[in-house]
Structure 1
């Protein structure tokens, strides 16, 4: 069955989650971050994800913005920067303006030109996602932005993936689901989507019963994966 709909995770897939810490570290006011920004960015992302998984299995949902702040607080304390309120606020402000990866606009435009439906499916709250999409200037090449807030549970709960068929009226086999998270791609494969894992860091494949259909180093060839 041909691909009709291309669905993208947001953070780490379309948007560079390390960009906030990297940019803040370059600013004179936050010189203390220069030596540890990469560690802070990695810990921030890891804790953000871990907290979503824990909340999902414990049935204790919270807005993703609160989870994002919790993850940052852990990361800053781990780096010995927990007392810097100005740095914390700057990092949070920058998270609403994350840069997209350089190949993203052209890739999404090619999908739309080729007649594919395109959307984001993310743990992010609607306001966070709208801010990132506007900042990146990619709203015109997306058909929709789908947030887990409409079902009140984080990925990889199947109710999140159900949002795609409900919105676009497509069968799972018609969907190419793209994520930078190996576990997300694996779960989407289990659900029935065709999947592409964008493995920019060259990480090993997760030891799960399901594996991505395709592993890529960036998003450049997604139109070809969609049959264009």
Structure 2
């Protein structure tokens, strides 16, 4: 990608900036109900059902998590206990940043406004962002947009709030399925993929790859 000076650098939050520990939370909760050799299949199914749950009309994130874990238990023939979903959901605001996030963002925050776009509950995400310790211009949530990524409505809400066009931003994410595919479809040409090992590379979507947030400064010429 040629050197680009965006009006805003926009970010996916959970997974990209914040260490997304949903699978670990499920592993801990279901350790007494799922055999060790079956746990990866269980947490993979949980991730798949969370994605499926957000593709329709907006509903509260607590409901997304609870529905997904209930469906996972049914599919895997595992006992669901009332309150399991809430227990996992309530851990979300306790999660902190990846080790590279704070220092990497501090380098670019001096020159560019930082914006988060998160599939988060509006009441939860401020706790995660606060743990990063770097100022954000704004953080928008699926709850505010009334749509979860990867739906276009979430991105359109952010662009409307910022008063800018797709070509004005640089969008940063570790996920193609949640962010970079939709960003491509919306005409957001300037994209960065943080390769955290969540998904395989997909060069069709025309992005700059970095291994962690520490590499972002070089992308914008700092």
TM over 0.5, shorter chain: yes
What secondary structure sits across from 1:126 in the alignment? Answer: coil
- Matched with 2:51 is 49
Q: How many residues align?
A: 216
After superposition, the C-alpha distances for 1:34-83 in whole angstroms (9 at most, x for unaligned) are 72554443322221112212x1xxxx321222112211222344454433
User: Is 1:116 equivalent to 2:112 in the alignment?
Assistant: yes
Structure 2 residues without counterparts, runs of 5 or longer: none
> Equivalent residue of 2:123, what SS?
helix
- 1:98-113 equivalences under 5 Å are 98-113=95-110
**Equivalent of 1:216, from 189, 210, 217?**
210
Structure 1 residue 88, shift from structure 2 partner: 4.8
Unaligned runs of 5+ in 1: none
Q: Distance in 2 between matches of 1:51 and 1:180?
A: 20
Q: Which residue pairs with 1:190 in the alignment?
A: 185
Matches of 2:153 and 2:123 in 1, distance apart?
A: 21
Tell me, yes or no, if structure 1 residue 152 matches structure 2 residue 134. Answer: no
TM-score by length of 1: 0.78
For 1:42-81, what aligned pairs fall within 5 Å after superposition?
42-53=44-55, 55=56, 60-81=57-78
RMSD: 2.9
SS at match of 2:214: coil
Q: 1:77 to 1:226 in 2, by over 3 A?
A: farther
Is the 8 Å Cα contact of residues 12 and 117 (structure 2) preserved in structure 1? yes
Conservation of the 8 A alpha-carbon contact between 2:9 and 2:170: yes
